[in-house]
Amino acid sequence: MQWLRVALQRPGGEGIGHWLHSFSLHIVTGFAAVAAHYALMYLLIRMGLAAVPASAGGFAAGALTRFVTSYGHIFTPTRGVHAAGLRFAVTIAAQLVANAALLAALTESGVAVWPAQVATTIALTFVNYLVYRWWVFR
């Protein structure tokens, strides 16, 4: 487990190396957030909920996972957890709308639910990183 602690160590320094390290951690810890999102989405769909509301529920589980890993391992917050949490909540609300809108547009155009959700997740990953870096945890 020592290797995991080293791998998840908050990036230090500046420049392109720092950006690459922190973006890589954003991607790696994003897998945990996506796993939480997709697991709950799957469960909700199996329970009979429609795709977009099920995705919204899963999105909330992924958001909590994302905040904890971002605050603790990726970024160096300049504000306390409450201030960063409020900014994160605003950002997550915007991301939830973007996630739902893009998923709805893709599924309405004939793309199956899971490929549409994967495409949505990939598209939002890059924007999320920049918003987290430049506003949420600054």
- Residue for token digits 């945990």? 32
For 110, the token pair is 């004939």
pLDDT of residue 98: 94
pLDDT of residue 78: 87
13 C-beta neighbours (distance < 10 Å), count: 9
Residue 37 and residue 56 in contact, taking contact as beta carbons nearer than 8 Å: no
| Whole-number Å distance between alpha carbons of 48 and 130 | 35
How far is the CA of 30 from the CAs of 18, 84, 108, in angstroms? 18, 18, 26
Walking along the chain (138 residues) 10 residues at a time, the average pLDDT comes out as 60 75 87 92 96 90 91 86 95 90 96 93 89 92
End-to-end CA distance of the chain: 30
Residue-range domain boundaries for the chain: 2-136
pLDDT of residue 84: 94
pLDDT of residue 92: 87
pLDDT of residue 15: 76
| Whole-number Å distance between alpha carbons of 121 and 53 | 16
CA triplet 122, 126, 130: central angle to 5 degrees?
155
| Whole-number Å distance between alpha carbons of 131 and 125 | 10
